Structure 1
Amino acid sequence: MIYITGDTHIPNDIKKLDECNFKEQVELSKNDSIIITGDFGGVWSNSKEELYWRKWLQDKSFTTLFVDGNHENFDLLNKYEVKEWNGGKVHFINDSIIHLMRGQVFNIEGKKFFTFGGAESIDKYNRVEGKSWWKEELPCKEEYEEALDNLYKNNWEVDYVITHTASTELMEQICWVKENNPLNSFFSMLQRDLKYKHWYFGHFHDDIEIDEKHTLLFEKIMNI
């Protein structure tokens, strides 16, 4: 089984995955997954509280997968060794918390998932670089190139797209006009040229079924 939900901002929104809110977990095993669409927040400062929540997730019946958002500590995240998992590059935060890196195509339960985290912090001017904001929140040239190469290898066809932010067109549909950067434009190209069944994203702190192929998630937990 594969479930998906929005930002967890550990510790602020992680309790959506407790037994009261996510009752289905009693029937899951470590072979089952829940995907977080960015702003995981569990690799931020290595504080005692943060380590508690990582252990809390590790003790759950399921495996936690996440793409990065804009609110991540990329200095810490990028210290983890890059490994291969299900066909793509990952960081293992622990045995059952896995960061799905940008531009990868994973085979999970027989389905292809294209992942590409990152987004722009519109409040970055009120943050401190290297402490509460990192320029790596937006992709570099090499990450775009790797994404295109992996999509080419998969004939530009996947089952699911998992991102943090969205295309320019999708942002217009949810009336969000505060971002306009190369990542949004890249996603506009993918929305036009990539064949996929469904695209899930977070970032905008709402739950909206935009249309039959695009879903914005925050608090809702969906079964794929």
Structure 2
Amino acid sequence: MTPGPRDRLQHTDSMSVGPSRVKSMSSTDSTQDTDTARRGATVAIAGDWHANTSWAIRSLRHLHSLGVREVFQLGDFGIWPGQKGADYLDALQEVLEELGMRVVVTPGNHEDYHQISELSAQNRDQHPAHAGFEALGAVMWSRDRIALLSRGHRFTRSGWSFVSLGGAPSVDFEHRITGQSWWIEETITRDDVATVVAGGPADVMLTHDAPEPWHGTDMVAKIVQTPLGRSAEVLAYAAEGRRRLDAAFQAVKPRVLAHGHYHVKDSTRVQIEGCDHETLVVATECDQMPDANLGLLHLPDEQTEGQEPQVEWVPLPPITTGVDRSQLGVWPEKPVWVWETEEFLRVFDEGRSAHWNQLIAEAAEEPTGAWVHRMAEALKQSKNPRAGEFMGARAGGLLPDSGIEGDDQ
């Protein structure tokens, strides 16, 4: 019998897995910080990559050009079964070695947890390949320069303490195959939460899922509150995942929480009850969305009064001429207001929620633009019912010529 989300939520055993130019992204000391003073630092983050090889490589090369050596990726990285998954990891390893970089992954929900469970934690802080990086401790290594963090793993950067809590419920699990495209170990367990809580507060929390809507960004809250016909079981599964992450979030009381999963660009500051500081919550977009899949977290020196952590989005530059245009994915790399109807149609037929969210944001900025009518016409022609449902729920009022109706849920 195929296990469902309810079985997973009742299972409490944790897995043992789990654009300013930057002058210096890691310490030259390979040992863990022994002092507790938080020094000024800049940390690179990346949202979902979904095993998109060309996108990931473009991202790494661009970040390297800004001085970045270490990237903290926020899940749905691309730990995937079969030859395609192996080829993706091998390609990234080759580029990371060439650039002298490494990627540190907080796993998401769309990862092969069977593959992850077969990895053992190893401390490679003294390995020559990791010279010049601050200590990471005992973590799992998918490749020599690709680290995977177990749930509750802690480390420091420039005196700032970090904790990772990966995983999230898949709201499309009903359309996936257990052990091939869906793994029951994807969600955060009560034991995972207990591990994080027992570790106490941390300055920066890296997650895939988001906390409860009142502790998150407006755009994520809107997604959560617009179920798009999901079954009651799916909604309960997703809600319990957020509740568990939120419990850990309230215990950790971080200065920053950065997450992926929802494929939107947003940030806000929230107040945890009983906490003497606000928390910067950052939601990242996914691959094929060049505006905000990458970011820099600027962490201030604690001796500087009045400064708070900030996020700086790092747009990915367009591919230059002479490069295979098929690498661009479905999003044309030119201003949306000059797109033709056929280009909008491709985004609706082949795109994902991240692309449609971006179109909604663009239309909200310029609702009377002529291009909005081309977008509405493309939506009428689209053969993707999911696009119609999504746009109807979120943008019916912006697209009066599209034939879709708004959804007040």
Same fold? TM cut 0.5: yes
User: Could you say which structure has the higher helix fraction?
Assistant: 2
Give distance in 1, aligned partners of 2:92 and 2:136.
28
Say yes or no: does 1:217 pair with 2:284: yes
* Deviation, structure 1 residue 89: 4.5
* Deviation, structure 1 residue 76: 0.7
User: How far does the alpha carbon of each residue in 1:151-207 deviate from its partner, in whole angstroms, 9 at most, with x for none?
Assistant: 2xxxxx211010001112246732122454333112222443432211100001111
Q: Counterpart of 2:74? A: 37
Per the alignment, in what secondary structure is the counterpart of residue 77 of structure 1?
helix
Say yes or no: does 1:25 pair with 2:64: yes
Alignment CA distance shift 1:10-1:191 (3 Å): same
Q: Counterpart of 2:250? A: 192
Q: Retained in 1: the 8 A contact 2:193–2:248?
A: no
Per the alignment, in what secondary structure is the counterpart of residue 247 of structure 2?
helix
Q: Retained in 1: the 8 A contact 2:212–2:242?
A: yes
Letter in 2 for 1:14: A
Alignment CA distance shift 1:124-1:222 (3 Å): same
Q: Counterpart of 2:191? A: 142
Per the alignment, in what secondary structure is the counterpart of residue 223 of structure 2?
coil
What are the ranges of 5 or more consecutive residues in structure 1 without an aligned counterpart? 152-156
Among 14, 24, 43, which residue is 2:56 paired with?
A: 14
Question: Quick check: 89-98 or 66-75, which moved more?
Answer: 89-98
User: Could you say which structure has the higher strand fraction?
Assistant: 1
**TM-score, length-normalised on structure 1?**
0.83
Q: Counterpart of 2:309? A: none
Tell me how large the CA RMSD over aligned residues is.
Answer: 2.4
Per the alignment, in what secondary structure is the counterpart of residue 48 of structure 2?
coil
Q: Retained in 1: the 8 A contact 2:49–2:56?
A: yes
Q: Counterpart of 2:353? A: none
User: How far does the alpha carbon of each residue in 1:103-160 deviate from its partner, in whole angstroms, 9 at most, with x for none?
Assistant: 1221233221110000011111100000000000013343233222222xxxxx2110
Letter in 2 for 1:57: L
Say yes or no: does 1:52 pair with 2:91: yes
Alignment CA distance shift 1:63-1:69 (3 Å): same
Letter in 1 for 2:71: I
Letter in 1 for 2:191: E
Please tell me whether Structure 1 or Structure 2 has the larger radius of gyration of its CA atoms: 2
How many residues are matched? 214
Question: Quick check: 94-103 or 54-63, which moved more?
Answer: 54-63
**TM-score, length-normalised on structure 2?**
0.48
Give distance in 2, aligned partners of 1:96 and 1:34.
11
Q: Counterpart of 2:272? A: none
Give distance in 1, aligned partners of 2:99 and 2:241.
33
Give distance in 1, aligned partners of 2:207 and 2:146.
17
Higher normalized contact order (CA 8 Å, seq sep 6+, divided by chain length):
1
